[in-house]
Amino acid sequence: MKGLVWTAATRRVVPAAEAKVPYGLPGVLFGASLFETLRVIEGRFFRLERHLERLERAAESMGWVPPARETVVEGLARVLQDPGLEGKDLRVRITLLDCGDGRVPETIVWAGPYVPPSPDLYRRGVPAVIAPYRLDETAPWTTLKTGNRLIHQTARRRAERDGAWEALLLNTRGRLADGAISNIFFVSGGVLCTPGVDMGALPGIVRDAVADLVGELGLSWRPGAYEPQDLYAADEAFLTNALIGVVPLVCVDGRRIGSGVPGRLTQELKDLYERLREREAKLLDAWLP
Ligand SMILES: Cc1ncc(COP(=O)(O)O)c(C=O)c1O
């Protein structure tokens, strides 16, 4: 892996290939870890406090002691100030590794250059398939960003092998839950539908931003329990995450969504989201003590 890594244990920045973590940690052995993925454009973060709050809340709900916020911010500052990365469009991952025994988890910050997808991804939209594996919406960690991603990873790899871009996961009740790396949205008769967190959806940072913007499009917002058929019959659909923003979803399981091209509302929402990002994004200085 390329990029640079800072760890709270060493307080040093090293090339990712040289970073070390102790073998015996539950975070390493059992996937007992939490993470956040962010995009940094020209040194500016979008809603960093929401990412940090989500991480801290997740750590608490795992029964861990969250690291001090200053520790995470120090790690971010150190990797961003490195001459190898300064000023670049970056992809950043904050990881908490469970150290067991009630200890504060090890905090790791990785950053590397953000490689944008081809513009065709946004222009043409992407296909997805429904994965053969289910998310357990009753498990408390399903809606946390844990490092235990075997279902998500395997589903997405399978989807890519079948020519799709994303895998959509159902929950144990057969309802739409979440994408492997994104939140799912579709428009049906003037209503913006998205799987509820109680269905297994990750409470995404961009999902929240979409909820803030939906009124500007004259749509109402309805998180809930949806079946694949609801998505197949939608007028238009899209996927979101903090790296890619808003990506049109044009085909699911080989069936065209709407007319099979990115929808008008999707395009408008993508523009609104990008403007919101531009307006709200802040330099890390805003979080430095
Ligand atoms: C499973 C899953 N759902 C949804 C999302 C979107 O969340 P966010 O908007 O916070 O990136 C992600 C992001 O990585 C994800 O992994």
pLDDT at position 1: 82
- Identify whether residues 86 and 33 lie together within a single domain: yes
Residue closest via CA to ligand 1's atom 4 equals 182
Report which secondary-structure segment, H or E, holds 278. helix 264-280
- Identify whether residues 261 and 132 lie together within a single domain: yes
- Identify whether residues 60 and 144 lie together within a single domain: no
- Identify whether residues 228 and 153 lie together within a single domain: yes
pLDDT at position 88: 83
Looking at the domain assignment, is residue 68 inside a domain?
A: yes
Going residue by residue through the chain, which has 289 residues, state the pLDDT in tens, using 9 for 90 and above.
899 999 999 999 999 999 999 899 999 999 999 999 999 999 999 999 999 999 999 999 999 999 999 999 999 999 999 998 887 899 999 999 999 988 899 999 999 999 999 999 999 999 999 999 999 999 999 999 999 999 999 999 999 999 999 999 999 999 999 999 999 999 999 999 999 999 999 999 999 999 999 999 999 999 999 999 999 999 999 999 999 999 999 999 999 999 999 999 999 999 999 999 999 999 999 888 7
Alpha carbon of 253 to ligand 1 centroid (Å): 21
- Identify whether residues 143 and 186 lie together within a single domain: yes
pLDDT at position 116: 94
- Identify whether residues 70 and 125 lie together within a single domain: no
pLDDT at position 286: 87
Q: Is the CB of 242 under 6 A from ligand 1?
A: yes
- Which of 115, 150, 170 lies at the terminal end of a domain, its last residue? 115
Of 162, 138, 160, 158, give the one whose Cα is nearest residue 150. Answer: 158
Of 96, 108, 92, 89, give the one whose Cα is nearest residue 7. Answer: 108
- Which of 115, 137, 162 lies at the terminal end of a domain, its last residue? 115
Q: Which of the 8 DSSP states describes residue 203?
A: -
Looking at the domain assignment, is residue 126 inside a domain?
A: yes
Q: Distance between alpha carbon 88 and the CA centroid of its chain, in Å?
A: 20
- Identify whether residues 138 and 265 lie together within a single domain: yes
Q: Do the bridges between strand 191-195 and strand 220-224 make them parallel or antiparallel, or are there none, so unpaired?
A: parallel
Alpha carbon of 183 to ligand 1 centroid (Å): 6
Q: Do the bridges between strand 236-241 and strand 245-252 make them parallel or antiparallel, or are there none, so unpaired?
A: antiparallel
Looking at the domain assignment, is residue 284 inside a domain?
A: no
Residue closest via CA to ligand 1's atom 15 equals 181
Looking at the domain assignment, is residue 241 inside a domain?
A: yes
- Identify whether residues 124 and 110 lie together within a single domain: no
The first and second tokens of residue 160, run together, are 């890519």
Residue closest via CA to ligand 1's atom 3 equals 182
- Identify whether residues 193 and 212 lie together within a single domain: yes
Alpha carbon of 227 to ligand 1 centroid (Å): 20
Q: Is the CB of 240 under 6 A from ligand 1?
A: yes
Domains identified in the chain, total number = 2
Of 163, 184, 172, give the one whose Cα is nearest residue 237. Answer: 184
d(CA 127, CA 262): 11
Give the ligand 1 atom nearest the CA of 51: 10
Residue closest via CA to ligand 1's atom 14 equals 181
Alpha carbon of 242 to ligand 1 centroid (Å): 7
Looking at the domain assignment, is residue 282 inside a domain?
A: no
- Identify whether residues 168 and 66 lie together within a single domain: no
pLDDT at position 288: 84
d(CA 223, CA 193): 6
- Identify whether residues 271 and 165 lie together within a single domain: yes
Give the ligand 1 atom nearest the CA of 180: 1
d(CA 79, CA 75): 6
Instruction: For ligand 1, pick from 145, 169, 199 the residue to mutate: most ligand atoms within 8 Å of CB.
Output: 145
CATH of the domain at 91: 3.30.470.10
Task: Specify the pTM.
Answer: 0.97
pLDDT at position 165: 98
CATH of the domain at 269: 3.20.10.10
Alpha carbon of 96 to ligand 1 centroid (Å): 17
Looking at the domain assignment, is residue 283 inside a domain?
A: no
Looking at the domain assignment, is residue 35 inside a domain?
A: yes
Whole-angstrom CA distances from 148 to 28, 30, 141, 232, 260 are: 10, 8, 9, 29, 34
Alpha carbon of 145 to ligand 1 centroid (Å): 8
* Domain that includes residue 154, residue range: 120-277
d(CA 273, CA 245): 8
- Identify whether residues 130 and 269 lie together within a single domain: yes
pLDDT at position 101: 84
- Which of 95, 115, 135 lies at the terminal end of a domain, its last residue? 115
